[in-house]
Amino acid sequence: MSIPSDLHDVLGDRRLLVLTGAGVSTDSGIPDYRGPTSPVRTPMTYQEFVRTAEGRQRYWARSHVGWARMWTAEPNATHEMLVAMQDAGRLTGLITQNVDGLHERAGHRDVIDLHGRIDRVVCLACREVTTRADLHERLAALNPGYESRVGEIAPDGDVVLGDTGDFVVAPCLTCGGDLKPDVVFFGENVPKDRVERSYALVAEAEALVVLGSSLHVMSGLRFVKAAHQRGIPIVIVNRGTTRGDPLASIKLEAGVAETLARAVLAG
């Protein structure tokens, strides 16, 4: 695959802010929502999760089955390249829309997990945060053999299942409240402090590189808009169009791993 000759001219030796999306994790076996070959999916919304016990039961049943596969995913070449770039002083920061924790597992430091982390659980009543590993053990004890069920794995780490009415949901051990994964659901706002920290990184960056994101939701697109307003170069690498394409200095219609990890940013 040829790389545009002007890409290195655009990036040069600038220190980069990187924004990553689901396309960075597909090589680790985690599917994305909006790739060219992705099926139409209907993710759980925040409103549905908090409104009904049935919605929470369906979410936790599917997520319990999918957890083992999600958390055994390993960082891929792109994660490792970004760690090497950080160690070489090429990055001013990294913002990820992914909740899988693979950047940190690869050794990246100070990642802004814009949409939270799937390995944490928060109580909607008392706001205590606990680990997903502990909850998984509790759910396994309450639902013996349930995790052996088979279904298609979905982007949020859950598995598509049929009837989940027999699944037993675990409450918060501290107050008995409802538990939710510590991630930003569709229809939920990104916490203000994460947004402010991300804008601060945009203000310091010399260029913005977007990897594997369709920028379909405003949570990531707003930082591309902020970079454009600053007049700094914007490079987008993604299979398929993105909402940020009109603002990009260069758009590469390509997979992240086979271009970025081997050639583009390393050059």
Distance of CA 77 to the CA centre of its chain: 16
Query: DSSP letter string over 196-256?
Result: HHHHHHHHH-SEEEEES----SHHHHHHHHHHHHHT--EEEE-SS--TTGGG-SEEE-S-H
**Least confident segment among 20-34, 70-84, 162-176, 189-203:** 20-34
Comparing 45 with 175, the larger pLDDT belongs to 175
- Tens digits of residue pLDDT in 227-248: 999 999 999 999 999 999 999 9
Distance of CA 245 to the CA centre of its chain: 20
Residues in contact with 127: Cβ distance below 8 Å, sequence separation at least 6, in sequence order: none
Query: Which position among 79, 103, 108, 115 bears the catalytic label?
Result: 115
Can you tell me whether residue 19 is helix, strand or coil? strand
Q: In whole angstroms, give the CA distance from residue 186 to residue 120.
A: 18
The answer to whether residues 212 and 256 touch, using CB atoms and an 8 Å cutoff, is yes
> Which pLDDT score is estimated for 2?
45
Q: Is 249 exposed, middle or buried (0-12, 13-18, 19+ CB in 10 A)?
A: middle
Residues in contact with 195: Cβ distance below 8 Å, sequence separation at least 6, in sequence order: 222
Q: How confident is the model at residue 106 (pLDDT cuts 50, 70, 90)?
A: very high
The answer to whether residues 205 and 226 touch, using CB atoms and an 8 Å cutoff, is no
The answer to whether residues 52 and 165 touch, using CB atoms and an 8 Å cutoff, is no
Cα–Cα separations (whole angstroms), residue 170 to 66, 141, 142, 165 = 17, 10, 8, 14
> Which pLDDT score is estimated for 266?
47
Cα–Cα separations (whole angstroms), residue 30 to 21, 76, 178, 236 = 12, 11, 27, 21
115 is catalytic: yes
38 pLDDT more than 60: no
Q: Which pTM value belongs to this model?
A: 0.89
